[in-house]
Amino acid sequence: MQSCRTADYTGLSAAVKCFTQRVDGSRVGNVEKTTTKALSEEIKAKARALGFDAVGIAKAEPADPDGHLARWLERGFAADMDYMSRTANERSDPSKLVENASSVIALSISYYHPESEKEAPETGKVSRYARSDDYHKVIRKKIRKLRKFILTLVPEARIHPAVDTSPVLERHWAEKAGIAWIGKSTMAISQSLGTYTFLATLITDLELTPDTAHVDRCGSCTACLDACPPKAFVAPYQLDSNKCITYWNVEHRKPLQDNTPDFAGWVAGCDICQEVCPWNKFAKASTEERFIPRPDLVSPDLLRLSQDPDYAEELIKGTSLQRTGVESMQANAKHVMSEKKK
C-alpha cells in the first residue's frame, strides 16, 4: 500500500482517502487495482444516494465499433435532426469530449408512474417522460453533484457530465456498463426497471473498474415492432425517425407536412413501443418527486389546447415540452383532432 496522509477526508473509506492523499502528488491514471475498485464503489454508492436507480462503469473505448450510428446517419434515419450528424465524431469517441478518457459512468433513473392516459374523444395523450418537471434539469443537478463529489476525492480528475443533449451515445454506454440492454425497440431496458428510465453519463479520465456488458434479453419477442402504428422500425434495433410519432410531435417543430403520420392520439411523444414491452411488468415507480406526473398533462383537453395559447403555455411550463413550444403543441392537438374525426 502506498504511503498516504489521511487528514481532512472524513466520511471516505480508508482506501479512497489513501488514494486521494498520495504524498508524491502523482497523477490519477494508473492506481493500484484495490484503490481503483474502492473508488469505483464509492462513486456508485454516491450515485445511488443521489437517487439513481442503476449505475455501472464501462471502459471509454470507441462507442460505435460496429458502425451502427454511422449507417443510421447515412441512411437518413436522423431526419432533420442535423445535430446528430454534426456531432457524429464526438458521439462515437468519448476521448473527443475528455482528453485521455478512460471510463464512462452510466446512470439510469426510473420515471415510471402507473397513471395511464385516458382514451377519450376530447382528450389527447402525453408520453410518460414528458408529464412532469423537465428531466434535463432534475438530472443535470444530480450529475453535477456526482461530479463535484468525485472531485473532492480526486481534485485533478477531468469529468464531463451529460444528459441527453451532449453528443454521447447514451444507450450504448448503458449496455456496455451492464445496467441495461438495447432492445429491438432501441430502448435501453433494465431487467429490474423496464424501459421507463432516463439515462445519463459521466465521461472521465479516471481509471475505474469496468462492469460486464449486459446481454440481450429480447429473445423471440417482436411486440414493439408489430405495435408501432407508423411502422417506424425498418428492422429490429433500427428506427427511422422520419416515421416515428415522437420525432414529429416533439422534435420536428416546423409545420406538419403531407408525410406526417397519424399520431394515434399522442400530442407529445408516444409510448406504444414501451407499453407493449413485457419487461415493463418490472417497471418500478419512480422515487423522484419531481417526476410525479402533473394531472392536467396526462390527458390534456384537445380543443382547449388547440385554441388557447395561454393554456398551452401554462400546461408545458417547466416541462421538457417547453423546447417543443406552444405553437407546435397547438399544431399537434389540431392534428390529433383531425385524425379523431376520420
278 binds, among ligand B12, ligand SF4, none (CB under 5 to 8 A by kind): ligand SF4
Q: 10 Å Cβ neighbour count for 271?
A: 22
User: CA-CA distance, 259 to 270, in Å (whole number)?
Assistant: 18
Note if 164 is an active site residue. yes
The CA-atom distances, in angstroms, between 92 and each of 60, 161, 186, 209, 339 are 10, 16, 17, 21, 39
* φ/ψ of residue 160, rounded to 5: -115, 110
72 binds, among ligand SF4, ligand B12, none (CB under 5 to 8 A by kind): ligand B12
The residue among 177 and 273 lying less far from ligand SF4, judged by its C-beta, is 273
- Give the footprint of ligand B12 on residues 106-145 (CB under 6 A): 127, 129
222 binds, among ligand B12, ligand SF4, none (CB under 5 to 8 A by kind): ligand SF4
When binding is defined by CB under 6 A, the residue of 61, 164, 301, 308 that contacts ligand B12 is: 164
The residue among 130 and 218 lying less far from ligand SF4, judged by its C-beta, is 218
Selected range binding ligand B12 among 31-39, 52-60, 142-150, 179-187, rule: CB under 6 A: 179-187
User: CA-CA distance, 122 to 300, in Å (whole number)?
Assistant: 9
Task: Please tell me which residue in 164, 262, 301, 308 is annotated as part of the active site.
Answer: 164
What are the percentages of helix, strand and coil residues in the chain, rounded to 5?
A: 40, 15, 45
| Window 18-57: contact mask with ligand B12 (x via CB under 6 A) | ----------------------------------------
Q: Of 330, 328, 336, 294, which Cα lies nearest the Cα of 309? A: 330
**88: contact with ligand SF4 by CB under 6 A:** no
- Give the footprint of ligand B12 on residues 72-91 (CB under 6 A): 72, 81
User: CA-CA distance, 61 to 163, in Å (whole number)?
Assistant: 19
The residue among 123 and 320 lying less far from ligand B12, judged by its C-beta, is 320
**97: contact with ligand SF4 by CB under 6 A:** no
**92: contact with ligand B12 by CB under 6 A:** no
Instruction: Kindly give, in sequence order, each residue whose CB lies less than 8 Å from that of residue 225, ignoring residues fewer than 6 positions away.
Output: 184, 185, 233, 236
Helix (H) or strand (E) holding 55, with range, is: strand 54-59
188 binds, among ligand B12, ligand SF4, none (CB under 5 to 8 A by kind): ligand B12
Q: 10 Å Cβ neighbour count for 198?
A: 23
User: Catalytic site residues?
Assistant: 164
Q: Would you tell me which residues interact with ligand SF4 (CB under 6 A)?
A: 183-185, 187, 189, 218, 221-224, 228, 230, 232, 239, 244-246, 270, 272-273, 276-279
